Amino acid sequence: MLQFRLWQQALIGLLVLAAAILALPNFFSKATVDGWPGFAPKSRIALGLDLQGGSYLLLGVDTDKVINDRLTSLRQEIQRAMRPLGNRERIALQAAPAIDAADNRISFRVREEADAAQAVERVRDITRAGSLVGAGVRPYEVTVTGPRVEVVMTAEARRAYEQEALADSIEVVRRRIDPAGNKEVLIQPQGGDRIVVQAPGDNDPEALKQIINRTGQLSFHRVDTAVAAEDAQAGLLPPGRIVVPIAEVEGGGSLVIWEEAEVTGDMVESASAGLDSDGGGFQINFAFDSRGARRFADYTREHVGELFAIVLDNEVISYPRIQTPITGGSGRITGNFAPEEAQRIATLIRSGALPAPLTTLEQRSISAGLGADSVRAGAFALIIGFAAVVAYMVLSYGRFGVYADIALIANVVLIAGALSLFGSTLTLPGIAGVVLTIGMAVDANVLIFERIREEVAAGKAPVSAAELGFSKALSAIIDANVTTFVAALIMFVLGAGPVRGFAVTLAVGVITSVFSAYIITRLFAGRYILSRRPKTIRL
Amino acid sequence: MLLKLIPDKTNLPFSSWRYVAVGVSFLLAVASIISVSTIGLNFGVDFKGGVTIEIASPKPIDLGQIRSGVGGLGLGEVNVTEIEDVAGAGKGVLITVAQQTPREGEDFDAAQQRAASEVRAFVTTTLGPDTEFRRTEVVGATVSGELVEKGVLAVGVAVLLMVLYIWIRYEWQFAVGSIVALFHDLAITMGFLSITQLDFNVSTIAALLTVVGYSMNDTVVVFDRIRENLRKYKKMPLQELIDLTINETLTRTVMTSGTTLLSLLALFFFGGEVLRGFTGAIIFGILIGTYSSIFAAAPFLLWTGVKRDWSKVKGAAPAGA
Task: Tell me the per-residue pLDDT of B62-118, one tens digit each, with 9 for 90 and over.
Answer: 888 889 888 888 888 888 988 876 555 567 888 999 888 888 777 788 888 889 989
Write out the H or E segment, with its range, that includes residue B132: strand B132-139
Considering only CB atoms, B8 lies closest to which of A378, A447, A457, namely: A457
Please give the angle made by the CA atoms of B205, B177 and B166, to the nearest 5 degrees. 70
Virtual torsion, Cα B220, B226, B228, B231, nearest 10 deg:
-150
CA of B198 to nearest chain A CA: how many angstroms apart? 17
Question: Which chain A residues are Cβ-neighbours of B122 within 8 angstroms?
Answer: none
Considering only CB atoms, B142 lies closest to which of A361, A369, A370, namely: A361
Residue B311: predicted pLDDT: 59
Task: Tell me the per-residue pLDDT of B284-302, one tens digit each, with 9 for 90 and over.
Answer: 999 999 998 888 877 788 8
pLDDT over 60 (residue A267)? yes
Question: Per-residue pLDDT averaged across A401-427, rounded?
Answer: 92
Task: Give the pLDDT band of residue A403 (cuts 50, 70, 90).
Answer: very high
Contact (Cβ atoms closer than 8 angstroms) between residue A282 and residue A274: yes
Under 8 Å CB-to-CB from A371, ≥6 apart: which residues? A47, A49, A50, A51, A52, A53, A54
Under 8 Å CB-to-CB from A6, ≥6 apart: which residues? none
Average pLDDT, chain A: 86
pLDDT over 80 (residue B30)? yes
Task: Give the pLDDT band of residue A410 (cuts 50, 70, 90).
Answer: very high
Question: Per-residue pLDDT averaged across B31-42, rounded?
Answer: 93
Task: Tell me the per-residue pLDDT of B119-152, one tens digit each, with 9 for 90 and over.
Answer: 999 998 988 888 888 889 999 888 888 888 888 8
Considering only CB atoms, A378 lies closest to which of B107, B259, B271, namely: B271
pLDDT over 70 (residue A528)? yes
Residue A155: predicted pLDDT: 87
Residue A136: predicted pLDDT: 61
ipTM of the assembly? 0.85
Question: Per-residue pLDDT averaged across A289-307, rounded?
Answer: 89
Burial B199-221 (b: 16+ CB within 10 A, else e): bbbbbbbbbbbbbbbbbbbbbbb
Q: Which of A383, A443, A451, A504 to substitute to test the interface with B, most B CBs within 10 Å?
A: A443
Q: What percent of chain A has pLDDT over 90?
A: 23
Residue A156: predicted pLDDT: 84
Residue B194: predicted pLDDT: 94
A:B CB pairs within 8 Å: 244
Question: Which chain A residues are Cβ-neighbours of B228 within 8 angstroms?
Answer: 472
Virtual torsion, Cα A345, A349, A354, A358, nearest 10 deg:
-10
Task: Tell me the per-residue pLDDT of A160-198, one tens digit each, with 9 for 90 and over.
Answer: 889 889 999 999 999 888 877 777 888 999 888 999 999
- The Cα B212–Cα B185 span in angstroms is 8
Residue B315: predicted pLDDT: 47
Instruction: Please tell me the least confidently modeled range out of A250-254, A463-467, A522-526, A527-531.
Output: A250-254
pLDDT over 90 (residue A42)? no
Please give the angle made by the CA atoms of A12, A14 and A17, to the nearest 5 degrees. 110
**Is B214's Cβ below 8 Å from some Cβ in A?**
yes
Of A365, A350, A524, A535, nearest in space to A461 by CA: A535
Residue B321: predicted pLDDT: 37
Q: Which 8-state DSSP code applies to residue A132?
A: P
CA of B262 to nearest chain A CA: how many angstroms apart? 6
User: Measured in whole angstroms, how far is the alpha carbon of residue A85 from the centre of its chain?
Assistant: 48
Residue A129: predicted pLDDT: 57
Residue A202: predicted pLDDT: 63
Task: Give the pLDDT band of residue A449 (cuts 50, 70, 90).
Answer: very high
Q: How many CB atoms lie within 10 A of CB A509?
A: 28
Task: Tell me the per-residue pLDDT of B190-230, one tens digit each, with 9 for 90 and over.
Answer: 999 999 998 888 888 888 988 888 888 888 888 888 888 98
Average pLDDT, chain B: 85
Q: Which of B137, B257, B267, B282 to substitute to test the interface with A, most A CBs within 10 Å?
A: B267
Contact (Cβ atoms closer than 8 angstroms) between residue A308 and residue A222: yes
Of A333-342, A514-523, B211-220, B299-308, the range with the highest mean pLDDT is: A514-523
What is the bridge-based pairing of β-strands A54-61 and B42-43? unpaired
Q: Which of B155, B162, B209, B257 to substitute to test the interface with A, most A CBs within 10 Å?
A: B209
Question: Which chain B residues are Cβ-neighbours of A393 within 8 angstroms?
Answer: 259
Residue A135: predicted pLDDT: 54
Residue A130: predicted pLDDT: 55
Task: Give the pLDDT band of residue B37 (cuts 50, 70, 90).
Answer: very high
Question: Are B140 and A381 a contacting pair at CB < 8 A?
Answer: no
Question: Are A373 and B87 a contacting pair at CB < 8 A?
Answer: yes
Question: Per-residue pLDDT averaged across A360-368, rounded?
Answer: 90
Q: How many CB atoms lie within 10 A of CB A505?
A: 26
The neighbouring-strand residues paired with A110 are A93
Of B239, B235, B216, nearest in space to B301 by CA: B239
**Is B143's Cβ below 8 Å from some Cβ in A?**
yes
Question: Are B213 and A488 a contacting pair at CB < 8 A?
Answer: yes
Question: Are A476 and B158 a contacting pair at CB < 8 A?
Answer: no
Of B216, B155, B160, B211, nearest in space to B188 by CA: B211
Residue B36: predicted pLDDT: 93
Contact (Cβ atoms closer than 8 angstroms) between residue A359 and residue B111: no
Write out the H or E segment, with its range, that includes residue A335: strand A330-337
Question: Which chain B residues are Cβ-neighbours of A496 within 8 angstroms?
Answer: 147, 150, 202
pLDDT over 80 (residue A365)? yes
How buried is residue B247: exposed, middle or buried, by Cβ count under 10 Å (0-12/13-18/19+)? Answer: middle
Residue B320: predicted pLDDT: 40
User: Measured in whole angstroms, how far is the alpha carbon of residue A334 from the centre of its chain?
Assistant: 35
Question: Are B136 and A495 a contacting pair at CB < 8 A?
Answer: no
Question: Are B259 and A361 a contacting pair at CB < 8 A?
Answer: no
Task: Tell me the per-residue pLDDT of A451-489, one tens digit each, with 9 for 90 and over.
Answer: 998 899 888 898 999 999 999 899 888 888 888 888 888
Residue A532: predicted pLDDT: 86
Task: Give the pLDDT band of residue B319 (cuts 50, 70, 90).
Answer: very low
Burial A135-147 (b: 16+ CB within 10 A, else e): eeebbbebeeeeb
Q: Which 8-state DSSP code applies to residue A103?
A: G
Contact (Cβ atoms closer than 8 angstroms) between residue B243 and residue B13: yes
Q: Which 8-state DSSP code applies to residue A106?
A: E
Residue A383: predicted pLDDT: 93
Contact (Cβ atoms closer than 8 angstroms) between residue A455 and residue A465: yes
pLDDT over 50 (residue B317)? no
Under 8 Å CB-to-CB from B306, ≥6 apart: which residues? B171, B173, B174, B226, B230, B238
Residue B312: predicted pLDDT: 53
Q: Which 8-state DSSP code applies to residue B61?
A: P
pLDDT over 70 (residue A203)? no
H helices present in A274-422, as ranges: 290-302, 339-351, 368-421
- The Cα B51–Cα A14 span in angstroms is 50
Under 8 Å CB-to-CB from A13, ≥6 apart: which residues? none
More confidently predicted of B98 and B3? B98
Under 8 Å CB-to-CB from A378, ≥6 apart: which residues? A51, A428, A431, A432, A435, B271, B272, B275
Contact (Cβ atoms closer than 8 angstroms) between residue A188 and residue A196: yes
- The Cα B264–Cα B210 span in angstroms is 12
Residue B51: predicted pLDDT: 92
